[in-house]
Amino acid sequence: MSSLPLAELIDLDRQHVWHPYAAMPNPLPVFPVRSAKGVCIELEDGRTLVDGMSSWWTCIHGYNHPRLNRAAHEQIEQMAHVMFGGLTHQPAVMLAQRLIELTPEPLQHVFFCDSGSVSVEVAMKMAVQYWCSLGKPEKHRFLTIRNGYHGDTFAAMSVCDPINGMHHLFRDVLMGQYFADAPQIPFEGVWREEDIASFSALLENHGEEIAAAIFEPVVQGAGGMRFYSPEYVRRAKELCQAHDVLLILDEIATGFGRSGKLFACEHAGIHPDILCIGKALTGGFMSLAATLTTREISQTFAKGEAGVFMHGPTFMGNPLACAVSLENIALLHSYDWQSAIGSIEAQLKQGLEPCRILPAVKDVRVLGAIGVVELHHPVDMKVVQPQFVDQGVWLRPFGRLVYTMPPYIIGPEQLSLITGAIYKVVSAL
């Protein structure tokens, strides 16, 4: 493929390519990428950036990893894709088996999806059809907590925060759900039962029509980058069981080690009825997600009117994605990833703490390989994004949040470059 001159490439992009969360034509700066390797992105203009975003939290082992590349090459020689309806293949079966081994024991069945948003759609649809199969169609609403984010498709948007979230413009056309107050006790805070009072009251008053509760355990991602007490997750599980409501946990952002545990629900020592995973599943190689559930739930569908689960993505169980995911999981378990996360966490705490006294800063918080600097006011992306690039790092702030979720393989010097850039840019606000 012939390459375009840089100026022409940027101009064509601005005129015709619609980027996420952007207007048309796009007024925000874009930075054309030539290649990526390890934890670095090389721009077309020759500059190299240390990636502090893991490409939206997916590339946990960086870019162009030889083991993932090799897995993809070997699989593509066999087949890149084959339909999953009526057919199966070794990569999908082996990946399902591996996911069952890694996730909490009651989760025994795996439904493959195309993306994180779709895995949430599948989970919600699964919960509704489960209750229909049991003769309880009135259980079709969902309970969630404010400041949450679960994706950009319609059912997923309905359980995102309707006021403070990114989808408030759609709230009048989305299915109405129940929203509990966001947890206020921090990750290591002292538990107080009143923190879950709102969640409990909604179950008490509306449990007969709630199919499932859905939330992100311990770490709320794009809804605010908030870390909260694992005890909230434990108590929510108990309350759901008491009110005959399923529990869906969204681990799309936290799965595969990001919070310091393989899955964030491990901090609470509980298991969900349905689990959503994605993002880091393939190590950022390509899109794949999955929805896992228990044998009791999945086998209920045969009793209902349809007799089957009424969902089937065209690219479900893509062999190429499954093969790379298997190798990505093997790669994660080939080294002491928990120590690597612990080292990142310690350095983030040390490197970001000086930001706490800056006038623009409201809070600084770190958990696992997640570092957050919360500001008093939203950033101006037209100004801030180029400043980070000038500092030699790639970060993508949003709203009042400047944060980093770096690859697990990042070195101390590279991580220092990220935290130093955050301090320099934020101190100038």
Per-residue pLDDT at 172: 83
Q: How many CA atoms lie within 13 A of 10 on its CB side?
A: 12
Q: Which residue blocks in 135-227 are alpha helix, DSSP H?
A: 154-158, 197-206
Give the H/E segment covering residue 361. Answer: strand 361-367
Q: Where are the domains of the chain?
A: 31-64+336-427, 70-332
Per-residue pLDDT at 3: 84
The answer to whether the peptide bond before residue 25 is cis (omega within 30 degrees of 0) is: yes
Per-residue pLDDT at 170: 85
Per-residue pLDDT at 91: 98
Task: Please tell me the pTM assigned to this model.
Answer: 0.96
Q: Which residues are catalytic?
A: 21, 149, 250, 279
User: What does the angle CA 366 – CA 142 – CA 255 come to, to the nearest 5 degrees?
Assistant: 35
b/e map 33-71, b = 16+ CB within 10 Å: eeebebbbbebbeeeebbbbbbbebbbbbbbebeebeeb
Q: How far apart are CA 382 and CA 324, in angstroms?
A: 36
Per-residue pLDDT at 204: 98
Domain 31-64+336-427 CATH (choose: 3.90.1150.10, 3.90.226.10, 3.80.30.20, 3.30.70.140): 3.90.1150.10
Per-residue pLDDT at 1: 63
Q: Which residues of the chain have pLDDT under 50?
A: none
Contact criterion met (CB below 8 Å) for 65 and 324: no
Per-residue pLDDT at 304: 84
Domain 70-332 coded CATH 3.40.640.10: yes
Per-residue pLDDT at 319: 98
